[in-house]
Amino acid sequence: MINLYPGTPQEILRPAKIGFIVATLVAALLLNLLPWAGWGLWVRPDFVALVLLYWCIDQPRKIGFGIAWVLGLLMDVADGSLFGQHALAYTIVAYAGIVLHRRVQRFSMTPQALHVVPLLLLNDMIVLLIRLAAGSDYPGYWYFLGSVVGGLLWPALSFLLKLPQRPRFDPDQI
C-alpha cells in the first residue's frame, strides 16, 4: 500500500475477528440504549451508525448489508418508531462505507473524520425525512449535532477498535 503520509507509518495488522466485530456492534447498540436525557440526548452520536461505518470502511468483506439492516430493525424497535427507518438509513450508510473504503483508508485520522461526518449526517437526514413524512415536527438544528460529535469521536474510536489487531510484541522472537 502506498503511504501518502510518511509521518504515519503503516502497520501490518492481524486480521479482525468476526466475534470482536459483533461484540463492538452490540456494545454500540448498548450505548444507544443508555437512558440519555436533556442535552446528552442532543450531543449523543448514533453509536451504531458510527461503529457500523468504521467496520464497513475497515473490513468491508466481513460486514455488510445484512448486519446493518438487522441492527436498524433493532434500533427501530428500541425507539418504538416506524419499522424500517433506521434499517434504511443504516443500509445506505453501509453502502457508502463499502464504496468509499479504499479512499477513506488512505487518509490519516483528521481527513477520515471529515469523510465520516457527512456520512453520519446522511444517516440523520434519512431518518429525519422519514419522520417528517410520517408527520413529526422538525426538531431543530441541534438534531445534527450528534453527527459532528461522532466525527470528533472517530480518531478515538479507530484507535480503540484497532487495538486487538495490533501485533503483540513477542520477546522470544528477536
Partner 1 sequence: MEHTPPPFFKTGASPLVRLMIFSALSLVLLVADAGYKYLETLRQVAAVIIYPLQRLAAAPASLARGAGDFFTTQSALRAENAQLRLDNMTVAAKAQKAMALESENAHLRTLLEARQRMADRSTLAEVLYAARDPFSRRIVIDKGAQHELRAGFPVIDGSGVVGQVTRVYPLLAEVTLITDKGHLVPVLNVRSGLRSVLAGTGVQGALELQFSALNADVQKGDQLVTSGIDGVYPAGLPVAEVVTIDHNPAQMFAKVVCRPLGSVTSHTRVFVVHAAAGIPPRPAEEAEKAPRGRKASKGSKGG
Provide the binding-site residues for partner 1, judged by CB under 8 A.
26, 29-37, 41-42, 64-66, 68-69, 72-74, 76-85, 87-88, 91-92, 95, 98-99, 130-131, 134-137, 139, 143
Our CB check for partner 1 shows the closer of 95 and 107 to be 95
* Residues 154 and 46: beta-carbon distance below 8 Å: no
Q: How far is the CB of 52 from partner 1 (least distance, A)?
A: 13
Our CB check for partner 1 shows the closer of 41 and 156 to be 41
Look up cell 486480521; give the residue.
15
> Read out DSSP for 51-109?
HHHHHHHH-TTT--HHHHHHHHHHHHHHHT--TTHHHHHHHHHHHHHHHHHHHHHHS-H
- CA-CA distance, 46 to 163, in Å (whole number)? 22
> What would you report as the CA-atom Rg of the chain, rounded to the nearest whole angstrom?
17
Our CB check for partner 1 shows the closer of 65 and 107 to be 65
- CA-CA distance, 63 to 2, in Å (whole number)? 25
Q: How far is the CB of 91 from partner 1 (least distance, A)?
A: 4
- CA-CA distance, 53 to 40, in Å (whole number)? 22
Q: How far is the CB of 3 from partner 1 (least distance, A)?
A: 26
Q: How far is the CB of 161 from partner 1 (least distance, A)?
A: 20
Our CB check for partner 1 shows the closer of 34 and 114 to be 34
Q: How far is the CB of 15 from partner 1 (least distance, A)?
A: 17
Our CB check for partner 1 shows the closer of 20 and 65 to be 65
Look up cell 434504511; give the residue.
88
What's CA 88's distance to the chain center, in Å? 15
